């Protein structure tokens, strides 16, 4: 290579590196790697240390030993790098430090992404009618309408199936009665232990379960008590503590599968309140998510697709706030990882992601009883 073109290449590289923010990210990434290899750049070490101490303070983290703390600091630094990578692959979301930033990806997966058991819904469920979709509002947000309780925290209990279906009953009860109750997931975890017809799929409390079996339990048991009367303890108590004296406040009339189509999801959400869905959670970079709209490219080749049960509580069919004003559609989703993750415990995903990886039915709605009349709409 001639000397002149060599120098223009150098010039080009230095121009690029000051121009592109992604390039800047790459450089920061390299600097963090240098921090890890501790080559004496104390200023950078201080910056990562500063972020780590802000993280510990914000989430009240303490570690039993200095060794553990040092180890967690190393994990934290690799998660900063991972957040930066996720940011490039998922630009409509914002990735950064979260309450999960001191966990390795496999610790996070084991604790929060479920057992890996495939939770299939049977296809013989009763489908709701096809609804008209021409007059749907541009935005829908059931939280703003008072149909959604504060975000809950399943902790390390793999009980997303109970949190998802309870949130649907809370919303349906609100629509039928005009009143919002915080209902008990623990009742489902302890009492909804049935299996399906062939005995192959059963509910296992905090070891995983199935939304359809949970709705069947609600349908057959008479209803659900308030959370304050049957508190969440985060494990299987081994005893179903519902008696004749238990004060059931919300009852399910019936539930239906929604036609597997986005516009039908939206129409049913508008008509019936929050709906239960399951998402291919391993493809969302949830450990580093701090807000915005998840929309990563997903590779569905893996045959171990864990689905996480959550609740659709709204959507936005408007334009983005970006300067290019391109049309975007996003779902507003309530999770059960506490209100100190994502957007106050909620997250948003782009349209395609909901049905990504496997075309099996995912969405269910419910109708609750009007407790004054005892009638079902």
Ligand X SMILES: *[C@@H]1O[C@H](CO)[C@@H](O)[C@H](O)[C@H]1NC(C)=O
> Residues touching ligand X: how many (CB under 6 A)?
31
Give least dist CB 208 to ligand X, A.
Answer: 16
263 binds ligand X (CB under 6 A): yes
Neighbours of 144 (CB within 10 A): 12
Report DSSP state, residue 281.
G
Render the burial of 87-101: b for 16+ CB within 10 Å, e for the rest: beebebbbbbbbbbb
Residue list 123-162, contact with ligand X (CB under 6 A): 133, 136, 141, 143-144, 150, 152
233 binds ligand X (CB under 6 A): yes
325 binds ligand X (CB under 6 A): no
320 binds ligand X (CB under 6 A): no
For the chain, the residue count is 377
120 binds ligand X (CB under 6 A): no
Pick 32 or 166: Cβ nearer ligand X: 166
Determine the interface stretch with ligand X among 56-64, 70-78, 104-112, 260-268 (rule: CB under 6 A): 260-268
Determine the interface stretch with ligand X among 92-100, 171-179, 274-282, 292-300 (rule: CB under 6 A): 171-179
The three-point CA angle 340-76-49 to 5° equals: 100
Pick 189 or 356: Cβ nearer ligand X: 189
Of positions 7, 42, 89, 178, contacts ligand X by CB under 6 A: 178
Q: How many CA atoms lie within 13 A of 166 on its CB side?
A: 29
195 is catalytic: no
Pick 178 or 358: Cβ nearer ligand X: 178
Distance CA 333, CA 343 (A): 10
Of positions 47, 51, 221, 246, contacts ligand X by CB under 6 A: 246
Give least dist CB 64 to ligand X, A.
Answer: 20
335 is catalytic: yes
Q: Among the options 157, 160, 191, 295, which is catalytic?
A: 160
SS3 345: coil
Of positions 34, 92, 120, 235, contacts ligand X by CB under 6 A: 235
Q: How many CA atoms lie within 13 A of 228 on its CB side?
A: 3
Determine the interface stretch with ligand X among 3-11, 93-101, 259-267, 354-362 (rule: CB under 6 A): 259-267
Provide, for the chain, the percentages of residues in helix, strand and coil under a 3-state DSSP scheme, each rounded to the nearest 5.
40, 20, 45
Determine the interface stretch with ligand X among 38-46, 81-89, 154-162, 174-182 (rule: CB under 6 A): 174-182
Distance CA 86, CA 122 (A): 34
Provide the phi-psi class of 178: left if phi over 0, else alpha when psi is between -120 and 50, else beta.
left
Q: Quick one: 284 exposed, middle or buried, by C-beta within 10 A (0-12, 13-18, 19+)?
A: buried
Pick 137 or 358: Cβ nearer ligand X: 137
Determine the interface stretch with ligand X among 21-29, 119-127, 232-240, 302-310 (rule: CB under 6 A): 232-240
Pick 249 or 281: Cβ nearer ligand X: 249
Distance CA 306, CA 283 (A): 9
222 binds ligand X (CB under 6 A): no
Distance CA 203, CA 160 (A): 12
Write a three-state SS string for 317-339. Answer: CCECCCCCCCECCEEEEECCECC
Active-site residues, by number, are: 160, 308, 335
Q: What does the binding site for ligand X look like in residue numbers (CB under 6 A)?
A: 133, 136, 141, 143-144, 150, 152, 176-179, 182, 185, 227, 229, 232-235, 239, 241, 246, 262-263, 266, 317, 332, 370-373
């Amino acid at each position: 290579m001639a000397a002149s073109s060599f120098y223009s290449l150098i010039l080009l590289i230095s121009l690029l590196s000051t121009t592109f923010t992604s390039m800047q990210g790459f450089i920061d990434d390299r600097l963090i790697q240098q921090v890890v290899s501790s080559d004496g750049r104390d200023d950078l070490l201080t910056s990562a240390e500063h972020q780590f101490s802000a993280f510990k303070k914000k989430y009240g983290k303490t570690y039993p030993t200095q060794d553990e703390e040092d180890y967690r600091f190393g994990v934290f630094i690799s998660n900063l790098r991972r957040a930066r990578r996720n940011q490039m692959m998922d630009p409509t979301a914002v990735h950064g430090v979260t309450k999960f930033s001191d966990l390795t990806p496999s610790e996070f997966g084991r604790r929060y992404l479920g057992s890996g058991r495939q939770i299939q819904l049977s296809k013989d469920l009763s489908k709701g009618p096809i609804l008209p979709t021409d007059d749907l509002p541009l935005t829908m947000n059931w939280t703003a309408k008072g149909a959604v309780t504060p975000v809950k925290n399943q902790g390390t209990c793999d009980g997303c199936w109970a949190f998802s279906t309870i949130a649907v009953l809370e919303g349906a009860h609100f629509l039928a009665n005009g009143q919002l109750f915080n209902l008990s997931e623990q009742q489902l975890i302890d009492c909804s232990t049935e299996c399906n017809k062939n005995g192959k799929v059963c509910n296992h409390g905090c070891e995983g379960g199935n939304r359809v079996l949970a709705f069947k339990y609600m349908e057959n048991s008479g209803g659900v008590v308030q959370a304050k009367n049957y508190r969440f303890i985060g494990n299987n108590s081994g005893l179903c503590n519902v008696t004749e004296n238990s004060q059931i406040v919300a009852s399910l009339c019936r539930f239906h599968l929604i036609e597997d189509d986005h516009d039908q999801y939206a129409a049913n959400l508008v008509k019936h309140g929050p709906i239960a869905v399951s998402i291919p959670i391993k493809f969302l970079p949830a450990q580093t998510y701090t807000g915005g709209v998840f929309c990563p490219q997903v590779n569905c080749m893996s045959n171990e697709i864990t689905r996480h049960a959550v609740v659709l509580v709204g959507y936005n069919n408007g334009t983005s706030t970006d300067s290019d004003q391109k049309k975007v559609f996003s779902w507003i989703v309530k999770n059960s990882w506490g209100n100190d993750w994502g957007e106050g415990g909620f997250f948003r995903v782009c349209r395609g992601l909901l049905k990504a990886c496997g075309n099996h039915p995912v969405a269910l709605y419910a109708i609750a009883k009007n407790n004054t009349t005892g009638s079902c709409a």
